[in-house]
Amino acid sequence: MDFLRNLFSQTLGLGTQKERLLDNLTLEGVAHYMLSERCRRVICLVGAGISTSAGIPDFRSPSTGLYANLQKYNLPYPEAIFEIGYFKKHPEAFFALAKELYPGQFKPTLCHYFIRLLKEKGLLLRCYTQNIDTLERVAGLEPEDLVEAHGTFYTSHCISPLCRQEYTLSWMKEKIFSEVTPKCEKCESVVKPDIVFFGENLPARFFSCIQSDFLKVDLLIIMGTSLQGCGLAG
């Protein structure tokens, strides 16, 4: 969090007496700024809230969130379903949940298409997403437009450090919907989608992009995330 706070302060002028960019702190003020010559590069930071209207639950809402509805998996605590240590011992719970949430069953929302519109207008510098639902890709963003901070279902790898065989989205989908724990065809270890579990490092692309992108950005838009418990918050 300190890293992002300092980065925003330096690059966006937070906490300084720099020139006032917005006529007023409203959507109209933001829209007016985006139409000006001063706004050429926009970064979006997005989380689960932009996908809830597509039918995908967020994580932390008290009654409807994902963590509040995991009783059937008999977890020691809700977050365990996304912990790498627990996954290695009990992968079945995650794959049962993955069948319910698997990409391809949901359609992008207005928020996703808004981000694509920014791209079409030549304004989008990057979209940093906490989401693993791939709806940014479905909406039309290319891999270069994205930093999938929590990884993606798009590819999968064997978890054995001596193997690391890669598998496709279609291969993983077939296993999950057959209710078979995906096992590596080379070494028989479990195969995990390339999403970031608690206890794993964020993708290298996150660190390489964030250092350069935030030195260029004119406008930062945060949608659908509290930035709690995530790599985007530190």
Domain boundaries, the chain: 39-223
Low-confidence ranges of the chain (pLDDT < 50): 230-234
Task: Give the predicted TM-score (pTM) of the model.
Answer: 0.80
**Which of 153, 150, 155 is CA-nearest to residue 133?**
153
Q: What pLDDT does residue 152 have? A: 87
Q: Which pLDDT belongs to residue 234? A: 38
Say whether 39 counts as a known binding-site residue: no
SS3 at position 123? coil
Q: Is 230 among the annotated ligand-binding positions?
A: no
Predicted confidence at residue 6, as pLDDT, reads 64
Q: What is the pLDDT of residue 232?
A: 47
Contacts with 214 (C-beta within 8 Å, 6 or more apart), sequence order: 7, 8, 11, 12, 43
CB 51 within 8 A of CB 106: yes
Residue 16 has a pLDDT of: 53
pLDDT, position 114 = 97
The answer to whether domain 39-223 has CATH 3.30.1600.10 is: yes
Reported in sequence order, the residue ranges of the chain that DSSP labels E, i.e. its strands, are 42-46, 124-129, 146-148, 151-158, 166-168, 191-195, 219-223
Percentages (nearest 5) of helix, strand, coil residues in the chain: 40, 15, 45
Q: Is 49 helix (H, G, I), strand (E, B) or coil?
A: helix
> Which positions are annotated as active-site residues?
150
**Residues 149 and 231 sit within 8 Å (Cβ to Cβ):** yes
pLDDT at 4: 58
Among candidate residues 97, 94, 79, 91, the one with its CA nearest the CA of residue 229: 79
